[in-house]
Amino acid sequence: MEHQEVTAMIAVDLSAAFDTVDHSILIKVLEYQYGVNGTALKWIDSYLRPRSCRVNVSSTTSSERQLECSVPQGSCLGPWLYLVYAGTLFDIIPPSITVYGFADDHTANKRFVPTLTNEMDAIRDLQDCAVHINTWMNSNKLKMNNAKTEFILFGSRQQLSKCQTKEIIICGDVIKSKTCIRYLGAFLDETLNFKDHITKKCKTAMMNYYKIKCIRSYLSKEATETLVLSLVISHLDYCNVILFGVSQTDLYKLQRIQNMCAKLVLNRSKYDSAKQALFDLHWLPIKARITFKILTYMYNCHVGNAPSYLINLLNPQVSKRSLRSSESSIGCYAVPYNKKKTFSDRSFSTTGPKLWNELGTNVRNSESLDIFKCRLKTLYFQNYFELF
């Protein structure tokens, strides 16, 4: 978006993906694609087969049927086996298309400068990619659900105004362009201002808040805090790293709910100090929770425990001269220069190094992630509640 480009994205939806994994195909993929053989392959085969199922309706149970497909959902191996099964999908994707996959959620992306010719080429490439994906799925006994597959264009308002595409055709089905889609539980709007995400998360959080409030008189402080953290605060924290750099007005919507939760846990009046309630519960405010999570990602990148696609976004800071002040820059990362800062300052490649370099060496050089989190929370807690 900083390069004045638009990204067209198709979010592919699968029908009962885990339930249609063919056991025979999966065993062949493990053997020939990943080199699993011998006892290990037999062990996985015995885990998958034989399996059976029966259906119970109104106290009547059907006869037992053998399963020739599906991987167990809710198990540790289920998602891993599906990823192995779907791994060959990436081999048939054209190089001009970028595909991201997380379990059974896949997106195909194509970026372009918004001119009529570029736009038509990008849409055609995406449509061809969708045909390849559909063909692969049919041959692997998976089903692409075109009715739930979504299409969206991402870009600035100025660049989106130059685009004319309102729909895309996938395998004969017309998919209308949307202004906001849900992907992995996050709501992505076309300009990435995340107002829809905040609104929807606040709505869900408030609904659960009022349910807990109705039974607060029957709960202890500990039970109330557990419920609030599990059913309300979890919605405020989910994917909160994408909210770095959004307007203070939008952030306050989340902060207001956290303030209400803190007072509910402590059974205090709505007129009491919210800051005092957060202090007593040792809760960091919303803005600090966002930067806290970004820095935990940075620590994992620093020690090599993060995914390669995050680590590759970072470049160690190299001092051109050997100065005494350069010792404090050891372990720091270069902050990329961006002429236009509307979106780049919110990206992980910029915000991560910037926040990381501001930390003291004592925090950056923590021996483990748990120690790092403890020191970072102490630092943020002192900074925010310095008047207490």
The per-residue pLDDT for 341 is: 65
Answer yes or no: is pLDDT of 291 > 80.
Answer: yes
Domain for residue 63, yes or no?
no
% residues pLDDT > 70 (the chain): 96
CA distances to 94, 100, 293, 323 from 105, rounded to whole Å, are 19, 8, 24, 49
Residue 213, token pair as written in the block: 């409030």
Encode pLDDT of 51-92 as tens digits: 888 899 988 999 888 888 888 877 888 888 888 888 888 888
Same domain, 277 and 147: no
Predicted confidence (pLDDT) per residue in 340-386, tens digit: 666 778 889 999 999 999 999 999 999 999 999 999 999 999 998 87
Are both 226 and 316 inside the same structural domain?
no
Whether 32 and 150 share a structural domain: yes
In a domain, 248, yes or no: yes
Residues composing the chain? 388
H helix or E strand, kind and range, residue 326:
none
Mind listing the pLDDT tens digit for each residue in 239-257?
A: 999 999 999 999 999 999 9
Beta bridge partners of 69: 22
Given a cut of 90, is residue 204 above it in pLDDT?
yes
Residues 114 and 151 in one domain: yes
Residue 37's alpha-carbon distances to 24, 41, 45, 48, in angstroms, are: 14, 5, 11, 15
Domain range enclosing 144: 6-53+68-188
| Residue 355 and residue 216 share a domain | no
In a shared domain, residues 355 and 259: no
Instruction: Identify whether residues 179 and 203 lie together within a single domain.
Output: no
Examine the domain organization and report whether 159 and 199 are in the same domain: no
* DSSP secondary structure letters along 245-295: T--HHHHHHHHHHHHHHHHHHTT--TTS-HHHHHHHHTPPPHHHHHHHHHH
Determine the average pLDDT of the residues in 304-322: 84
Q: What is the DSSP string of 144-177?
A: B-TTT-EEEEES-HHHHTT----EEEETTEEEEE
User: Mean pLDDT over residues 195-220, rounded?
Assistant: 96
Residue 150 lies in a domain: yes
Let me know whether 16 and 135 are in one domain: yes
Q: What is the pLDDT of residue 20?
A: 86
From CA 112, how far away is CA 340, in angstroms rounded? 18
How many Å apart are CA 291 and CA 367, to the nearest integer?
Answer: 20
User: Looking at the structure, do residues 217 and 95 belong to the same domain, yes or no?
Assistant: no
- pLDDT over threshold 80, residue 318: no
Whether residue 50 is preceded by a cis peptide bond, meaning omega within 30 degrees of 0, is: yes
Residue 143 has pLDDT above 60, yes or no: yes
Write down the pLDDT at residue 273: 93
Tokens describing residue 260: 């209400």
| Domain assignment present for 59 | no
Does residue 75 belong to any structural domain of this protein? yes
Which of 188, 204, 237 is the endpoint of a domain? 188
Tell me, what's the pLDDT at 387? 53
Partners of 98 in beta bridges: 109
Check whether residue 72 and residue 125 sit in a common domain.
yes
C-alpha of 49 from chain center: 33
- The answer as to whether 355 is a domain residue is yes
CATH number, residue 182: 3.30.70
Q: Which of 283, 317, 338 is the last residue of a domain?
A: 283
Q: Looking at the predicted structure, is the pLDDT value of residue 326 above 80?
A: no
Q: How far is CA 277 from the centre of its chain?
A: 30
Q: In terms of Cα–Cα distance, which of 292, 200, 184, 180 is closest to 239?
A: 184
C-alpha to C-alpha distance for 269 and 166, rounded to whole angstroms: 50
Mean pLDDT of the residues in the chain: 89
E runs forming strands in the chain: 6-12, 51-53, 56-57, 60-61, 65-67, 98-102, 105-112, 150-154, 167-170, 173-178, 180-183, 186-189
| DSSP three-state, residue 57 | strand
Q: How many domains would you assign to the chain?
A: 3
Other Cβ atoms less than 10 A from the Cβ of 22: the count is 16
Residue 61 within any structural domain of the chain:
no
Find tokens 């939008």 and name the residue.
Answer: 250
Q: Which residues contact 141 (CB under 8 A, 6 or more apart)?
A: 20, 21, 22, 25, 69
Domain presence at residue 212: yes
Which among 260, 283, 306 is the end of a domain? 283
At 300 the pLDDT is 96
Nearest to 90 by CA among 98, 79, 78: 98
Indicate whether 242 and 347 sit together in one domain. Answer: no
